[in-house]
Structure 1
């Protein structure tokens, strides 16, 4: 059995995540997310989806990025602003 690096659970169904040359062991996606998912630099939520990056900083959505001054970030590229509700 393996031990989760977040909660310490010794569990027969732990899994490994290989990322950036390191191997991490978790017993659940919840532990993996809490350990590895980046945090939005505006609202603090864990970024589980794609997120957006602006000037080397990560945000959960375009709205949070714009709140921090990244005006060029949009949620849907190619959709006119009036259709996005701006």
Structure 2
């Protein structure tokens, strides 16, 4: 998170070399809108946010196992149940 907090001001400073302050505000506003809109398309995001701190750990990995097993040799025998074939 600390790197991300340094990248934003750095990008804004670089943008100010070429654009006006108003243009930088518009560009960053549109970028923030695009990021916020991305949360709308994440499946079950509201449910995820409602979970307590302990339950949330590894939640997406448990709920969407196939999304996190790409490239591994796995067998799906029953929907939602993944087992290693070895």
**Common fold by TM > 0.5:** no
* TM-score normalised according to structure 1 size: 0.24
Question: Which of the two has higher C-alpha Rg?
Answer: 2
* TM-score normalised according to structure 2 size: 0.24
